[in-house]
Amino acid sequence: MATLTVWKFNTADGAEKALTKLAPLQKEHVIEIKDAATVSWPEGKKKPKTKQAINLVGLGALDGAFWGLLFGLIFFCPIFGIALGASMGALGGSLKDYGINDNFINDVKSKVTEGTSALFLFTGNVTLDKVEEALGDTTAELIQSNLSNEEEAKLREHFSPEV
């Protein structure tokens, strides 16, 4: 089963840096990254830049249409060739089966703002202590996940800043 997590970083390049640190762990089988995408919103820009991590995960578990739909719903910016239109509502409804609902969209939209970035990860098996060690002093806020409450609390404890 794949797990979806969304991590917010307080810099526009934080998500990309974290993903770069995770890449070698994928080769060592410490983390199984099924697919990933980043959102970077540099200061002074009207909208964020999005990028699917195709080089990291090969063809990826998902195609660009999924990321285009998700980012289109969150940031109202069609990417990867997805056109916003009447079909958007029907497609958006199908995301609810994966835990992506209005709360998810609104939460990400409210937290990923100018000057920040986000890392969207679909992962399989993860050896959390080794990932934590590799990320070192990287601080990220877990915005959303489809983990159990216990699993999510453990992730927040390790990586999210003190609130």
Q: For the chain, which residues make up each domain, given as ranges?
A: 3-159
Find, among 160, 130, 137, the residue nearest to 32 by Cα. 130
Q: Are 102 and 5 in contact (CB under 8 A)?
A: no
Please state, in angstroms and rounded to a whole number, the distance separating the CA atoms of residues 140 and 120: 12
- pLDDT digits 0-9 by tens, 51-80: 887 655 554 555 666 777 777 777 754 443
- Under 8 Å between Cβ of 50 and 67: yes
**CA pair distance 145, 160, nearest whole angstrom:** 13
Backbone angle region of 76, left / alpha / beta, with phi > 0 → left and psi within -120 to 50 → alpha = left
Tell the burial category of 117 from Cβ atoms under 10 Å away from its Cβ (0-12, 13-18, 19+): buried
| pTM listed for this prediction | 0.75
Q: What is the per-residue pLDDT for 124?
A: 85
Q: Please, which residues bridge with residue 9 across strands?
A: 117
Q: How does pLDDT run along the chain (163 residues), one tens digit per residue? A: 678 889 999 999 999 999 999 989 988 989 988 888 899 999 999 889 988 876 555 545 556 667 777 777 777 544 433 444 434 444 445 555 556 677 878 888 899 999 999 998 888 888 888 888 888 888 888 887 776 677 667 766 756 555 4
Element (H, E) at 106: helix 102-111
Q: What is the pLDDT of residue 17?
A: 93
- What does the pLDDT read at residue 63? 60
Please state, in angstroms and as integers, the Cα–Cα distance from residue 14 to each residue in 38, 100, 102, 137, 138, following that order: 10, 23, 25, 12, 8
Q: Which tokens sit at 121?
A: 């990860």
Determine the pLDDT at residue 51: 87
